[in-house]
């Protein structure tokens, strides 16, 4: 099956070349969505003639960058899209493993930093771990999922899954929208264990979202809004998945 690896980037001049050198070893086709970077990122990307780059002229947000990657994968008829962040916290060597886990009947292979421990795992910033745990517990209780990590950006999606998403959330709350839509569409999910790596604990979310309480409140608001939107769209409550989320 043809697969594409996509990286959403914004002001990643310090990391992009190193990450792309590694990704190129494990993925034959790569897309970078440059979300309006104003540092040296465009100059670094110009050095990689074999990497497709789509540039947003203005910064639109993490979710908007992923939406661009989703649409590109659909337009170019890829079977699988792998998404990986560009901050060095995901290991490109695992890309083929995520693709291999996309077996018949699986729509999303979702990386999890908390499914099992790895030697050398980092200790996540306390507020990020707390918010991730709170949101993961909420999703499991309200949507009938069985997740251990609701915010990991290292994922593999089937084309079928991409075609069912209707993305309107431009920022870091995108996963809340995607999980609601995943359940509403009856998509199947497996989690895949990946190492827990934090290289920049003080990495900014931008603006008021750097405040943990504001960030959590924003995530909760997006979740409730998406639930309401799906009920209005479908005329019914969101149902539990066709089959429970399992671990790989």
Nearest CA-CA partner of 187 in 126, 241, 109:
241
pLDDT digits (tens, 9 = 90+) for 29-54: 999 999 999 999 999 999 999 999 99
d(CA 21, CA 33): 16
Task: Identify whether the C-beta of residue 69 lies closer than 8 Å to the C-beta of residue 53.
Answer: no
pLDDT in tens, 63-82: 999 999 999 999 999 999 99
> What's the token pair of residue 59?
């910064």
For the question of whether the overall pTM of this predicted structure is more than 0.85, the answer is yes
Domains (range + CATH), the chain: 3-247 (3.90.550.10)
Chain CA centroid to CA 126, Å:
21
d(CA 181, CA 24): 31
What pLDDT, on a 0 to 100 scale, did the predictor assign at position 181? 96
Q: Which residues contact 95 (CB under 8 A, 6 or more apart)?
A: 5, 23, 26, 27, 82, 84
Q: What percent of the chain has pLDDT over 70?
A: 84
Task: Give bridge partners of residue 109 from the DSSP assignment.
Answer: 156, 190
The band of 211, judged by pLDDT with boundaries at 50, 70 and 90, is confident
Inter-residue contact 61 to 133 (CB < 8 Å): no
DSSP string, 175-205: HHHHHHHHHHTT--EEEEE-----S-TT---
């Amino acid at each position: 099956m043809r697969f594409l690896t996509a990286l959403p980037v914004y002001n990643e001049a310090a990391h992009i070349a190193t990450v792309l050198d590694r990704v190129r070893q494990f993925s034959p086709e790569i897309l970078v969505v440059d979300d309006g970077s104003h540092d040296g990122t465009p100059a670094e990307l110009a050095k990689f003639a074999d990497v497709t780059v789509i540039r947003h002229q203005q910064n639109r947000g993490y979710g908007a960058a992923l939406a661009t990657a989703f649409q590109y994968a659909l337009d170019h008829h890829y079977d699988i899209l792998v998404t990986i962040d560009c901050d060095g916290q995901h290991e490109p060597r695992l890309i083929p493993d995520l693709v291999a886990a996309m077996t018949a009947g699986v729509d999303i292979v979702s990386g999890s930093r908390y499914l099992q421990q790895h030697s050398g795992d980092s200790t996540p910033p306390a507020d990020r771990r707390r918010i991730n745990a709170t949101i993961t517990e909420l999703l499991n209780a309200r949507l009938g999922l069985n997740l251990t990590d609701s915010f990991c950006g290292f994922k593999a999606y089937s084309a079928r899954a991409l075609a069912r998403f209707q993305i309107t959330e431009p920022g870091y709350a995108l996963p809340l929208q995607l999980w609601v839509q995943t359940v509403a569409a009856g998509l199947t999910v497996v989690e895949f264990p990946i190492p827990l790596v934090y290289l920049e604990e003080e990495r900014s979310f931008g603006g008021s979202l750097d405040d943990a309480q504001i960030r959590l409140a924003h995530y909760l608001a997006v979740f409730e809004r998406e639930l309401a939107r799906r009920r209005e769209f479908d005329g019914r409550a969101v149902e539990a998945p066709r089959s429970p989320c399992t671990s790989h």
